[in-house]
Every structure is written in structure tokens, then in C-alpha cells.
Structure 1
């Protein structure tokens, strides 16, 4: 990967940092607000999530590898997956993050893993890390993270990006700037979403700031053939989520109820309501001491064309050591 690519990567990292924090803390605030005012109703709403069981013996945790760290039992790691899948598909994980509750160093951490990272997936060999979700769902994805980076993740939360139209429509739409280049492609994606979801959203006819409904915003987030390719696509997804958060900050608790009713069926996790409330309380107790890192770190990865496919290659042992030092020892 060229130096210019890494410079652009650093710019994207800065944007993603504030966005990741907003999503994580925003979700916790919504959950805790409903817990305070809702009581049993809160438990009922969370039951709408798709709660699944994981085989804890098949998550690739190697305890011996963690002996050099003294705080592993006190620090909680949760895998976060953002999946863009249509009905009947498992989908690949477009976004892979590790949320860390670290009471030892009094920090919340979000660790992102580049989706094109070239790693070993049990039973499938070397491949992009985001393919693990399509091959074996969250269990294989967690196993892949644990085995490659020497971690101890046992829990996850997965959100399907297809839930975005419902969220945005409840909030009354979002304002997003459409470029001339994006205008060339967005209407094709609008037609595609309309056809699949049975909606009838209109085309965008000019560039500039637009007030988008849910279908239009999802179409915008899926554009991938402009300059910047898939990097720009993930940046558009972050732009949409950032716009949603802006709307959420002024929304009423009543609208939170509607949002969770619509969105939670798109959420999959092995955590129950009690687990989520406990984690949320602990996270907010840590406060705004938030950090984010991304692996492989800038300067440690290189793009490679292998068999006609782009991969991000890197030294796995270096990335493993850096990631574990960051998560468990707070060393950057």
C-alpha cells in the first residue's frame, strides 16, 4: 500500500474514531434510559433480539497464550459485527470491532479490524477475515479473531445494516450531501432497494445536500463504484450512521421505544437483557474515557493481489502482540 493510501487511511481513522464512540455510547444511553423508565417493559423489548447460543468450547480461546497478561479476567471483550445482508443471507461482516470494558485502566476501547485482513479461517484456509461470518456466522467469526489475535472473546452483538431504512424513517429522514459522482450511481441503488423492500422512494435529481428517506439513505450507503471504491463505501456508511446519531440526540424516549421495536429484530447476540444492562451500567460508570485503535496499524499492512483478489497482508505475530498489549496492558 502506498504512502498516500496510508495518509488517506489515517484521515478515515480520525473520522471513524468519533463515529464509533457515538454509536457505542448512543446505544448504551438508549438502553439505560429505557431501563430506568421501563422496568419490565425494557426486558420485553430486548426479548425481540435474535438471541442465539454459542459453543464456548469452539471459540478458539487459548488460555496459555494469555498467561503473560495479569488482567484478562477483569477486562471484558465483546465482538461487534456490522452485517449488510438481504433476506435469507448470512452476509459478510462489513464492520468488525472489539468493544473492551477496561476497569483496570478505567477506559472504554473500540478496536477495529480491517475487513480485508488476510488471515487463517478454520476449515477454509487463508481468506479475508470478513468472510468468516458468511462461512460460519458469529461463532466462526469470533473463533477466527481469537485464533489469529490470541484473544478471549466469548460474546458478540451483530447488527444488520438493512435495518437502517426503518430507523431513518422513524426519525423523519437524514440530511446528506450527494456529490456529482455519487449522483451517477445512487438511483440504480434506490431502484434495487425499492424492488427488494417493496418501497417506492423517488430518484435523486441533483447534487448537493439532500433530505433522504430510509431507502435513499441505504442506497447511498451501498454505492461502491466511485473513486475510492470500497473505502468510500464504508465511509458513506459511517456518514449515514453519523447523521442518524445527530437525529437521535434530539429524539424523545418515546421514539426510542419505536426505534428498538423496529431495529431489535435485526440484532443478533448471545447476551441476555440482564447482561446488557450490567455491561451498560459498567460502561457508563467508566465515563467518557474512550479510545480507539485499528489493526493492522498504519504502516504495518500492505495491499496484495492474490489470485486476482485484493487482500490486506501483514505480519500476524506483530499485529497479535500489538493488539493484546493495547487491550490488556493499555500500551499503544
Structure 2
């Protein structure tokens, strides 16, 4: 049991905060799409690297029944986190997708566990994040579509090794640091500062305070003083703080923020389409991000365990596929 728990908790520090950094990127794309300074923002997006994939191959990976049953009112875009600080771009440290649901007027951010045991085209059964190692973003999209019944056609890759810089670019975040989190937060603040070869100020007391990038990353990395649920709550606290900060940024300040964040991105989506997506979402009045993680332990026979010495999350493939499709396309409860 102890060995199983150890594998369940094993996760790179950067992975534990990738949800936040990816969401920050998503938010700025959606927010600036609402303003009329099209030429200004279009120029600012020039720092984002444009990737090219085979649209025909990706389209083939989408189930025909998905094409027949669901239209473009529900758009799914893959979000892949890569930590380039470690010079390890061979695998995605996290695999997520954002759902722009114009049918039910919702915005969803869904994470799929990177240790999920999936079928990867041409490579047999393996971990989900290995798809990126075998075929970069294109194979990641195909693997998600084929295993989970999705209709993903594009992706965004984020260099979340620079999360502290991203948070600093938006001006920091306001977080309520609890007494039980205070000591560990300061410990991790100094750890992050050391990794970045910078100095950082520790927090003087618990409570509501404004955190800079290094401090916020330290807060997100707390691991041992409570449980998985509390760690998830902290990630969500920072995510919501970043979301609110981006929404409150004035149109005149946004170009500068976007310019700072853009070098950490690459995507298959053109600037025009990004702007169009942002405009459409904001016109619909969607204001909050709904979050979910799959597979869900305890449901669909999901469990973590070793297969030939390697840890995976296994599950009932058909049951999980149906659950994800119902949640994404029908807006049903995840559990």
C-alpha cells in the first residue's frame, strides 16, 4: 500500500502547478479577444510560435459518431505543458484540454492524468504523456481523441517552467495563506528561488497577501503538510486569482502582458482564430472556468498500480470514455 501511495503522489513539482500556468495563458487569450484593438493584439501575438500539423490525420482520429452527433458549438483544444528548464521537451508533463461550450454557455478545463494507460497509435499501450515523446502535439491530440472520444483539432503548448515569470507578468496574485500552510510555503519559496538563482522574500505572517511569482509557485508546491485535496484547493486558489487578475487588467495594459507571456507558447491556432475564439466566448457571457480531472479514482474501475514495474492508472475504457463524453458534450455531472 505504501508503495502504491508513493507512486500516486509522485509528480514533478512543475506538474503540480501546470494547471495554473496553462489557465493563465488560456485566460489572456480569451480576455483580450473582447477588446476592439484587433491590429494591436494581432501584432502582439507575433511572439507565439505557430506549429503545423496534418489536419487530415487529426480528423481521422475523431470517432465518426462524435462527428455525426456533435457540432462545432462545443470546441475542445488540447493544452500541453512542457518544462524546458530541465531541457526535457520529449514528454508533456501534463495533458489537458479546454472546452469552449457555446451550447451550454460554459468554459471547462479538464486534466487527464499523465499516467493513464492508453493506446498510442503505432506504439501500443503506454502512458498518455508518452504520446508527446513519440509524435509531439499531433500524436497527443490523436491519442486523446481515440481513447476518450473527443474532437480535438488544435493544441497549445506552454513552457510552464517559467511560471514565476508568467505570474509576475500579470502583476502577482492575492492569496490567503493559512496558518497551517505558512511554514511550508516559506520553505518552498526559498527552494524555488534557489532553482531560479534568485533571491526571494519569505512571508512575514499568514493571512491574505499579495504574492509575486516565486512566492506563488512556492505556495503551489506545498506537498507534505496535509493531503491531495488541500493541494488541489491551493492550485485552484492561485488559478482563480490569476483568472480574476487577467479579467481586471485594462485593455491598454494587456498588450504588454501578452508580449511577456507569448514567448512561452506555441500553437496550431492562428492569431485570427485566437482572437475570434476570445471574442465569441466573452460575447457569450461565460465568466468562470469549470475544472475536472479524469480518470476519477473509485469510478469506472479506475486504480493505480504497477504493470511490469511501471506505474499506470488503469480503468474501464468504455465506461470512462462515456463519462468524459457525457461531461464534455452533454454537460452531465462528472460523477
Superposition TM-score, scaled by structure 2 size? 0.75
Root mean square deviation of aligned Cα: 3.7
Is the CA contact 2:30–2:277 (under 8 Å) kept in the aligned structure 1? no
Q: Which residue of 2 aligns with 1:6?
A: none
Is the CA contact 1:46–1:273 (under 8 Å) kept in the aligned structure 2? yes
Tell me which of 275, 280, 285 is aligned to 2:278: 280
Determine the C-alpha separation between the residues in 1 that align with 2:330 and 2:241.
34
Q: Which residue of 1 aligns with 2:197?
A: 198
Q: Which residue of 1 aligns with 2:266?
A: 268
* Paired residues for 1:41-190 under 5 Å: 41-59=40-58, 61-62=60-61, 65-66=64-65, 69-72=68-71, 75-86=74-85, 88-90=87-89, 92-94=92-94, 96-102=96-102, 105-110=103-108, 112-115=110-113, 116-122=115-121, 124-133=123-132, 136-179=135-178, 182-190=181-189
1:315 matched to 2:313: no
Shift of 1:265: 1.0
Alignment length (residue pairs): 310
Determine the C-alpha separation between the residues in 2 that align with 1:78 and 1:121.
19
Q: Which residue of 2 aligns with 1:239?
A: 237
Is the CA contact 1:100–1:327 (under 8 Å) kept in the aligned structure 2? no
Quickly say closer, same or farther: Cα 1:251–1:174, change in 2 above 3 A.
Answer: same
Determine the C-alpha separation between the residues in 2 that align with 1:108 and 1:208.
32
Q: Secondary structure at the match of 1:319?
A: helix
Gap runs ≥5 in structure 2:
2-19
Judge which range, 194-203 or 127-136, deviates more.
127-136
Q: Secondary structure at the match of 2:96?
A: strand
Quickly say closer, same or farther: Cα 1:29–1:270, change in 2 above 3 A.
Answer: closer
Deviations 1:275-294 (A, max 9, x none): 11222233334333976665
Quickly say closer, same or farther: Cα 1:309–1:45, change in 2 above 3 A.
Answer: same
Superposition TM-score, scaled by structure 1 size? 0.75
Deviations 1:165-205 (A, max 9, x none): 23433444333233455445444533443234332112345
Quickly say closer, same or farther: Cα 1:227–1:117, change in 2 above 3 A.
Answer: farther
Shift of 1:82: 4.2
